[in-house]
Amino acid sequence: MTHTQRFEGHTALVTGAARGIGAAAARRLAEEGASVLLTDRDGEVVEETAAGLREQGLSVRASACDVGDRAAVEAAVAHAVEAFGGLDVLVNCAARCTRMTPLFEDEPDDAWEQDLDITLSGPYRCSRAALPHLVASGRGAIVTIGSVNGLQDFGNHAYSAAKAGLGSLTRTLAGHAAARGVRVNMVVPGTVRTSAWEGRDTEISRIEKLYPLGRVGEPEDIAAAVAFLASRDAAWITGTTLVVDGGLTAVNTGFHTAVHSMREA
């Protein structure tokens, strides 16, 4: 697919870019003309992803980066700035979600702390390291990937609390950075068909029935929203949360189905 070159001459750094939403966002930005540094904790896989994009003629590089490590984050940002001559866009995608225990009181402390550290503090570290360079670019933008888990109860206590925290961080950082010309926004996906759902087609089929638009999302759906918010098409948008969830949080499909069934009875 040919895209408008909204990012010609721009540079970007995407975390959690080895696969899924992060990889799709990196691809979309590169397809629209950006030079992109893909980072991920899994350095081997992110390099494979970047190599595949380079084979398509896209301007990308890869670097291993654990967003839980401040020094690694600062090194990744420095890598992008040195390689591309600056930084215009940061996409915070890296996250961690531990399978929750049946009982809340059995949740281990380390799972709670690690989910919050990667999912919430990770974007904080990345944004802090990138902000001076985004200011210097004169067209800086931060786009963070949230989740419907931060809006409603879909389980996973720590992950959900972290994603809800990202909404607040988006608003406060937007207010702080606006005067310096940097926009900060968040995309909130519903269920997206990533590697986490491989081999779970039966579950996907059940979940799709809960979505008013009749399907779960694809990584490319989220990447399109990321590209919009990072681009000058969104030049007067900051501090906002863009929900991209097929209508899940707007329409109670289960309730509608139950009411319809009662009327037919």
CB 13 within 8 A of CB 91: yes
Which helix (H) or strand (E) covers residue 173, if one does? Answer: helix 157-177
In the residue annotation, 159 being an active-site residue is answered as yes
Give the span between the Cα atoms of 255 and 220, in whole angstroms: 29
Task: Give the strand order in the sheet containing 35-40.
Answer: 60-64, 35-40, 11-14, 89-92, 141-145, 183-189, 241-244
- Alpha-carbon distances, residue 166 vs 74, 81, 102, 108, 263 (angstroms): 20, 25, 25, 22, 41
The catalytic residue among 7, 84, 159, 211 is 159
Q: Label residues 196-216 b or e (16+ Cβ within 10 Å = b).
A: eeeeeeeeeeebeebbeeeeb
Catalytic residues, by residue number, are 159
